[in-house]
Structure 1
Amino acid sequence: MKNKLVMIMLIILIAITLVGAVALVVVLKFTGEEENKEPTIDEILEASVDIPQMTTNLANDDYIRISFKIQTDNKKAKEELEKRDFQVKNIIIHTLSERTSDELRGAEGQTKLEEDLKEKISEIMQEGTVEKVYITESLLQ
């Protein structure tokens, strides 16, 4: 009888422990922060670099005056990008010199430019990656 009572108490104790563990996992999973949450605007600004206004010729002898904000994935990447500003400007000038003014007109052309610059600048980065390139000012003539 004593053995049977101890066995029942042990089974109840194990069941309560398992129910508690499952409840804890469920609560932590649903109340925990998402891993893929979007960064706040302050986090974006902390990891972004401004590329001042540049003027360069395009492939069809028109010219463009343009400036950018480049968002990186962390502060170390931002510091590296600030040191590589001459390389970034070089990439921008070369990329723009291959485009005509017609290719840069409209949202589609600007989005394509932003994506191309993101890809090319990310290739030279060692400490992180470029998350997004924003055109902050543009004058096409």
Structure 2
Amino acid sequence: MKNKLVKIMLILLLSITLVGGIALVVVMKFTGEEEAHAEPSIDEIIESSVDVPEITTNLASGDFIRITFTVQTDSKDAKEELEKRNFQVKNIIVTELSDMKAADLKGKTGKTKFEELIKSKINSIMQDGKIIKVYITSSILQ
């Protein structure tokens, strides 16, 4: 009698676990899980981006650069905070550029490294969100 009862309990337990697992997979598959990992549309990117006006400054090598940026944030709250922190963003950019040489900013690799540096520096001061990407929209190096 005990052996039969144990078999029935194990079968019920396995059945409940199997049904629960299937339900979990179905819920995860058909809810917004895929949307959370989807790339944002261009309209969403523009809505959460801030343009940094042109900055002209000297480099450590004696050259000067004229540069503009667009900074993409992860939310509208982050965009509002970044707009308020505009003076801090300009300070970060000017300070970082003042330690660089013209050779550091030449080519795709140099610009990409600089974008990543600015992104990490701005993220360190952000409180209501984070920076997704920094885009150099114009650059004149003389």
Q: TM-score, normalised by structure 1?
A: 0.80
Count of aligned pairs between the two proteins: 130
- Work out the CA distance in 1 between the residues paired with 2:24 and 2:126: 39
String of CA shifts for 1:88-119, please: whole Å, max 9, x gaps.
Answer: 00100001111100010001100110000001
Aligned Cα root-mean-square deviation (Å): 2.3
2:125 pairs with 1:133: no
AA at the equivalent of 1:37: A
String of CA shifts for 1:47-95, please: whole Å, max 9, x gaps.
Answer: 1100011111101010111000001111111101101101100100001
Unpaired segments ≥5 residues, structure 1:
1-14
Unpaired segments ≥5 residues, structure 2:
1-14
Give the corresponding residue for 1:37.
38
Q: TM-score, normalised by structure 2?
A: 0.80
CA shift in 2, pair 1:63/1:30, >3 Å: same
Give the corresponding residue for 2:64.
63
3-state SS of the aligned residue for 1:124?
A: coil
Larger Rg: 1
CA shift in 2, pair 1:20/1:91, >3 Å: same
% identity of equivalent residues: 54
3-state SS of the aligned residue for 1:70?
A: strand
